Amino acid sequence: MANHPLIAPSILSADFARLADEVAAVQGPPGSGADWLHVDVMDAHFVPNLTLGLPVVQSLQKSADLPLDCHLMIENPDRWAIGYAESGAYNVTVHVEAADDPVKLARDLRAAGSKAGLAIKPNTPLEPYVDVLKSYDTLLVMSVEPGFGGQKFIADVLDKVRKARTMVDTGHLNLVVEIDGGINADTIEQAAEAGVDCFVAGSAVYAADDPGRAVEGLRSQVQSASSRSRS
Ligand code: DX5
Ligand code: ZN
């Protein structure tokens, strides 16, 4: 596990008519609050849902003080992902199931100034992509079928997290291991114990009365799970 666990609230569960306020609600003073802001881009083709695209990300880029973690659930990321990197996103994640040439795409994203992230759906195995992952900075393990917030956590994907963690800890890969889907107070500790570095949480943060406190609650659960697994 990374020394500093990262918490990335997903604005998919926020009120889209009040986005700036919703971002401010999870942004703390330095050293607290959310680490990244997770932005789910869906195109109604790769997934059966439509959310937001480049113009909204560009506006968020101007108004939010958090690094943007753009998760592109879109077809043809080889063509469209670059715009998100050029807009200043901190990390741009594409789905391996949608990318034609993921190694070239990672190179293009990095050349445009962002980190490169690779996402895998719950039923996509990790092994075939280990070489490809050498070109990437983050691995997003989906723990629900992509498309919607508020779904139930699929614990089976933690095997992939454990494998990725081992490859990172043994120096075979150099990646932030991120998990996305169904992360809440009931599931985050098992994800932490499996070796996740970055925890995306949508409904667990934005359905809470106080999203900022929800972020801190998740973070303290990760910290206690990691001190347990170290002892
Ligand atoms: C789902 C999205 C997730 C979603 C997670 O396709 O990628 O980022 O916002 O929402 P929760 O945390 O509610 O499962
Ligand atoms: Zn996501």
The model's confidence at residue 2, banded by pLDDT at 50, 70 and 90, is low
Q: What is the pTM of this model?
A: 0.98
Instruction: Report how many domains make up the chain.
Output: 1
CB 153 within 8 A of CB 182: yes
Atom of ligand 1 nearest to the CA of 10: 9
CA atoms within 13 A on the CB side of 52: 22
The model's confidence at residue 3, banded by pLDDT at 50, 70 and 90, is low
Residue 53 belongs to a domain = yes
Q: How far is CA 172 from CA 125, 129, 135, 168, 183, in A?
A: 17, 13, 12, 6, 27
Cα 62 from chain centre: 20
Q: Counting runs of H as helices and runs of E as strands, what totals does the chain give? A: 9, 8
Q: 154-169, pLDDT tens digit by residue?
A: 999 999 999 999 999 9
| Residue nearest ligand 1's atom 4 by CA | 149
Confidence check: pLDDT of 1 > 80:
no
- Structural domain span for residue 89: 6-230
End-to-end C-alpha distance for the chain, whole angstroms: 14
**If you measure from the C-alpha of residue 201 to the centroid of ligand 1, how many angstroms do you get, rounded to a whole number?**
7
Nearest-ligand number for the alpha carbon of 181: 1
Residue 1 belongs to a domain = no
Residue 105 belongs to a domain = yes
**If you measure from the C-alpha of residue 10 to the centroid of ligand 2, how many angstroms do you get, rounded to a whole number?**
7
Residue 137 belongs to a domain = yes
For residue 169, indicate whether it is catalytic. no
- DSSP per-residue letters across 145-157: -TT-SSPPP-GGG
Residue 95 Cβ inside 6 Å of ligand 1? The answer reads no
Residue 157 belongs to a domain = yes
- Which amino acid appears at position 213 of this protein? R
CB 38 within 8 A of CB 1: no
For residue 180, indicate whether it is catalytic. yes
pLDDT at 144: 99
Higher model confidence: residue 26 or residue 231?
A: 26
Residue 143 belongs to a domain = yes
- Domain of 24, CATH number, reads 3.20.20.70
Residue 103 belongs to a domain = yes
- Measured at the CA of 118, the angle between CA 116 and CA 120, to 5 degrees, comes to 170
- Phi first, then psi, for residue 36 (nearest 5°) are -130, 160
Q: 173-228, pLDDT tens digit by residue?
A: 999 999 999 999 999 999 999 999 999 999 999 999 999 999 999 999 999 998 88
Mean pLDDT for the chain?
96
Confidence check: pLDDT of 111 > 60:
yes
Residue 163 belongs to a domain = yes
